[in-house]
Amino acid sequence: MSRPVRYTFIVGLVSLGTALAAVGGWRYARASAPVSGPIVLISVDALRADHLPIYGYDKVRTPAIDALAADGVVFEHAYSHAPQTLPAHASLLSGRLPFETGVRDNAGFRVSGAERLLAEMLRDRGYETGAVVSSYVLRRETGIGQGFTFFDDDVSRDAPEEADAPLYRDGARSERLAEDWLTSSGTERAFLFLHLNEPHKPYTPPARFADYDPYDGEIAYVDEIVGRFVKYLKTHQLYDQSTIVFVADHGEGLGDHGEQEHGLFVYEEALRVPLVVKPAAGEGAGRRVTDVVQHIDIVPTILDLAKAPIPDNIGGLSLTPLLGGTGSLPRRTVYSESFYGRYRFGWSELTTITDGRYRYIRAPREELYDLTADPAQKQNLAQEGLPSQTLLRTALDRLIARPAMGTPAEVAPQDHEKLEALGYVGIPRARPGSAAEQLPDPKDRHGMLEAYRSAVDRAVAHQWPDAIDLLRAILRDEPAMADIWMELASFAVNAGRFDQAVEGYKRALALQPDDAAAHLGAAAALLRLRKLEEARQHAALAADASEDDRRSRAAAQELLARIALARRDAATARRHAELARQEEPALPMPAYVDGRLLYDQTRYADALPLFEQAIDEIEALGGRQIPDLRFHAADALFRLERYAEAERQFLAELTGFPHDVRARAGLAILYHATGRADAAARTLTGMVQRTPTPEAYNLAARGWTTLGNSRQAAAVRAEAARRFAPSRQSVASAGR
């Protein structure tokens, strides 16, 4: 080789080496640098993967989700660890399985303060953290908001006199709040968690999606919301550098195995979820991944992209090798569970594990499904002795031989009612006793659950007689279910049928004689019937049955004080009020009772400061609301012609106790007195629609008379006479 040629060759090699080094350095720098834009986690409630076009579904259009998938990586086999919202999100945001977080149900559990969630990890790395959630299930009190400097869980509406307390927020409203927070955060180094409640029950999409099945219509609406958010990111030049994770918390039964909603079963329709990850700079755009992945992989993935350390106690793996196609993950199995049947009905829990090809379910009657040959899981192969069954059973045993039974905390009645309205029926309790294989198999009992949910749906629609009839039908077959008797009694209370409520509570007490809640319910219903001595006896029994529960003892003493007020026994009322405060220091019953004693003497100006003292103490100490306290304060203020203050107290009473018809009637009269005739009419009309009881109709008729509308008053009385004809069937006959 001549000297000039050698020189040229050497220069070329040096140039090539420099170029390769530059490319390699650029690739390394890009791989090692943290994401430069916002990290957005969008969780959609109850969204089945197989109802999205990106997974082959053709009965709904989702252009925004399709476009996001085209810009990102689609995971074809992603799984949740629980078919309930709170346990699923606890795992999603912690990177740990339900038996590790200890959150096993939507009710009776909360995320421990010792649990470290993704928002806390990113906040420590200098991220601004914000969350907007759309369901009561993820309210702040569950602990799911740990680490977020901004956490909006306000699903309330602006006019409590016109609507029941809402349980979820329209996704479009949540999306706007998310936009506002990102704008106000003033930084691109932000982590946003946006939870959308659609397509969760009750499946009520906007009218423009009426051509779709209601569930699919809600999916179309979710797509529209996602499209708006993506448009916001693009308008603000944030989309390209944003990392977006789109996922669902769990799926929905839709009747595939007899369950219309979710919570009980652990089949694919409940556990397989969509997962799309759009990395910054469009890396991996359009890729589809067939590896089995899981919710607990999302935390390490986001931490990896943010170049933040991944805690040792996280069981998931970062998916970043799959995003760029630069590597693979070891073959894994995914664990999921449902303790819904165990906690709420005393049935067996269900645990399950899948490797993507087979799903094994541990139950009193084991189940094994070949997901490739039988994706609908109709053919149970558990009796065929396949090697896969042994392998998966062994893998489940290695993971957790038998899940420890957590103990659900007591659920406040108002929380129980709200969660039931969302489909989570039954009262979570610690139910020790038989091993799981000796308990009823949920496969054999799901029909009862569906009937129970139907009854609650009727109750939510204020069709309480129909709801009671459905519970009666359950009790004819299951007369020993004390919780159903309790539910029936509570529906009877809402319907104003206090005699039937007493019968229901007594049937529950025949099965569980020491149930303090049943004694309290019976005492309250008897008080409404003015059977004061019998009411006192049940309240005293409730106090005796609540040895280890100070809150129940306080409730019993509170009720005994109210019974004494009804008897006009001031000394006894004051004694029990003081005992109630001793059991629950944040419960200012003494001030309330002293105020009531003055109020009952029509000494409104003297009573008002005591009511205000009680209200101030509750607000200062964070205590629970006392029924009627704000009503009596409002009524005293109204009589003293302090109308603006009275209105605030009436509305506050209705926020805490939306079925308080006296407060609603008082509000209507206040509107009339202050020249707001339309608001008064709306309030009276809404009262009988929302709480169709004899008392509500009676108060509405009197209210219409006060408003000078005798024709409407007569119509209300006629409707009451038709609706409340004497019932020919007693509650007690239900179990015969």
- Given a contact cutoff of 8 angstroms between Cβ atoms, the answer to whether 274 and 91 are in contact is no
Omega before 330 within 30 of 0, i.e. cis: no
The whole-angstrom separation of Cα 660 and Cα 627 is: 9
3-state helix, strand, coil in the chain (%, to 5): 55, 10, 35
Which token pair is 435? 């091993």
pLDDT digits (tens, 9 = 90+) for 248-293: 999 999 999 999 999 999 999 999 999 999 999 777 889 999 999 9
Q: How many CA atoms within 13 Å lie on the side-chain side of 350?
A: 25
Q: Which CATH class is domain 38-329?
A: alpha beta
SS3 42: strand
Separation between Cα atoms, residue 110 and residue 138, nearest integer Å: 10
How much is the pLDDT for 676? Answer: 96
For the chain, what are the domain ranges?
38-329
How far apart are alpha carbons 434 and 430 in whole angstroms? 12
Contact of 270 with 253, CB cutoff 8 Å: yes
**pLDDT confidence of residue 403:** 58
Q: Is 297 buried (19+), middle (13-18) or exposed (0-12) by CB count in 10 A?
A: buried
Do the bridges between strand 358-362 and strand 350-354 make them parallel or antiparallel, or are there none, so unpaired?
antiparallel
Name the H helices within 294-401.
298-305, 320-323, 340-345, 387-399
- Angstrom distance (rounded) from CA 553 to CA 543: 5
DSSP per-residue codes, 577-597: HHHHHHH-TT--HHHHHHHHH
Structure-token pair, residue 490 = 């509570």
Q: Is the peptide bond before 375 cis (omega within 30 degrees of 0)?
A: no
Would you give the distance in Å from CA 19 to the centre of its chain?
56
Q: Are 407 and 382 spatial neighbours (Cβ–Cβ below 8 Å)?
A: no
**Which residues have CB under 8 Å from 334's CB, separation 6+?**
79, 81, 292, 294, 353, 354, 355
475-521 pLDDT per residue, tens: 999 999 999 999 999 999 989 999 999 999 999 999 999 999 999 99
Q: What residues does 131 pair with on adjacent strands?
A: 151, 193
Interstrand relation of 150-152 and 128-132 (parallel, antiparallel or unpaired): parallel
Q: How many angstroms separate the CA atoms of 340 and 103, rounded?
A: 12
Sign of CA dihedral 138, 400, 260, 481: negative
325-358 burial, b if ≥16 CB within 10 A, otherwise e?
A: eeeeeeebbbbbbbbbbbbbbbbbbbbbbbbbeb
Q: How far apart are CA 104 and CA 214, in angstroms?
A: 29
Counting as low any pLDDT under 70, the low residues of the chain are 1-33, 157-165, 401-404, 431-437, 726-736
Chain mean position to CA 597: 40
Rounded Cα distance, 82 and 78, in Å: 13
C-alpha 174/C-alpha 193 separation (Å) is 11
Helices 589-599 and 604-621, axial angle in degrees (round to 10):
160
Q: Are 680 and 707 in contact (CB under 8 A)?
A: yes
Other Cβ atoms less than 10 A from the Cβ of 382: the count is: 16
Q: Which two tokens stand for residue 40?
A: 């957005």
SS3 303: helix
